[in-house]
Structure 1
Amino acid sequence: MNISSSFGETCAKSLINYHNELNASFNIHIYNNNHIYKDKVIFVMGATGTGKSKLSIDIANHIPAEIINCDKIQVYKGLNTLTNKVTQEESQGIRHHLLGFIDDPNADYNVTHFRNDAILAIESIIEQNKHPIIVGGSNSFIESLINGDSYFMSRYECCFLWVDVNLPVLDRFVSKRVDQMVESGLVDEVREIFDPEGDYTRGIRRAIGVPELDRFLRAEKDGFVDKGALDILLKIAIDEIKVNTYNLACRQVNKIRKMKDFWGWDLHHIDATDAFLKDKTEERNEAWERLVVRPSVLCVRDFLRATRSSGMQSKSKAPSTTVIKEVVSSMATVPAVI
């Protein structure tokens, strides 16, 4: 009888150990109340120019986190100004993954590559007891990871932050930003990679700003056009960059709305328009902190505190969008560091 009891205890302990190891390997945690917990991933979404990268860094300064780039052009090395990559100073010491790590400018980096690389980065971050923040405007990459990868779907729970700016306001901001990029050396960057035989449908040359400068750079290279004509070609190219960037922003917003409606994602909509309307730097920073950072951090902290996983949301679930702006006024007294 004692032998049977000892054997039973040994078997039970072995099963428990196996069960725990299996759950750990799958990033799924089982607790005493039989609730299932998943590791958590934060997504910062939005159109180009809305401040996604800035917000992700601001959030990472409030929680232990690292950032995973989800911009299909920023994965390539080079064109730092044109692609608006975060600088070392702007990163504030927060580690960024999948940013400027592909050497071959002609490489075809697709959704499958991103899914594989993103999952490896997520697991690496979680192993350090930090939280992954995925940020970028390549919504097809996000959609493929969340709803096209069974491994991710079964192991992770998501929080979606959608930072948004009124499109006419964003249009004016994007136009100014392009002018600033030109002053910071955008044309010189593109000139360095210019290839008359280059393929503008592959790799980093797909970036807005590269195809648009083709006629100007060809004329400049040929040397048969006077300075006045070159100046006109350059102005045309810059105007095209502004228009195409705004059109990209419109497509990105439409894609986010479609994903929300189709998949039923619970998007926390953060309206940053008022911050963009401020002319003075001090006022703009204050508005950004109050209207964007604080409610976003509150949302993320609530998400991380939640104990029971609700699982992935499917197409059959009614779509919902939490509009953060509606509750901002009640958060005015929340301290900057939460």
Structure 2
Amino acid sequence: MSNLATSDLSGFLEILQQLVREPSVVGTEDSFFRVLRRELEEVDVKVERHLGVLVAQGSEPESLILSAHIDRHGLLCTGPNEFQYAAFIAGNRGELTGDSLSEQMMASIADRFTGQRVQAHLPYTGTYLGQGTISNGYHCEKRHNLIFEIEGLDFLQPGAPVSFLDRLQVTDTHISAQLDNVLSVALIVYLFRNGFTGTALFTAQEEAGRSWRYALAWLQRESITTRRLLVLDTSPYPTPEAAAEQELVLRKKDATAGFDSAFTDEIARICQRLDITTTYKDEWIEAQNLDRPKPQSLGRTELGRLVAATGGHITGTTLQIPTTGYHTASETASLASIRAVLRLLSTYIS
């Protein structure tokens, strides 16, 4: 617990730096699952791989259940020198209903990636195939997806995943990389290394709206119902000033369902006791919508889908780190927020 409460983040940043380098494109997460499993097997936890989810359990698995998705946005080769945003290809669209933040922002982010270095790899093994540079990106209304052209990867065959060439950047106050959601994965690995004894679910395909199904399948397999599922994630803000208004982001609900009010209040009380500043993202969005000509969705989260699918038998709350540069290789979070989340989570380590 004392390790988590210190201001020295070197141990955590070492884990994050390593994991950031590993590709985990939506729908092709197998190689990342194997890297993550090796990390977890170095500590005294039980690790099991199931379809779409890696489960790690300490000596007190029922004390607290954490969840974080491992997938990150990337591209998939779909034709000769044609690459589509992996989360939104036709085969992944079944769970997407048009009101996720990613879908609503699709057209506006098409040109963010011009000049971005990328790397291709084999889908299952993660074997490196080559690098290239995105030369063009646009929104195709017919296919309702982002289409990219890449210089240097014209030899790829359909089905090959392409990830953003990513390296962790650290300053005195912030970190930058494609943080969503490898940041939360690194946090949980660090927690286990420092004595966390509960359960963690690492899920695939959250960006395609599927992760909740994999989590639900495992929870049902184990006959688990709970009101204390804590989902860790990042939370996007439009400007550094808006992100800096709080160290951590809470939620009472999303577009799908309300969260457990008792657990949400418990997290809020701990934050208040530790002098950690917080806001509620759903309330922030609703306030912003008062001045928007077209209201923004509250978003559909993994937790909200689990709550709705189980009639509230599986519920909990979310804990998010505010970021800017949403869904880019330069998504940025403050070190103050990372210290805050570690201080909070240390209270759940006996």
TM-score of the superposition, structure 2-length normalised? 0.31
Q: Which has the higher strand share?
A: 2
TM-score of the superposition, structure 1-length normalised? 0.32
Q: Which has the higher helix share?
A: 1
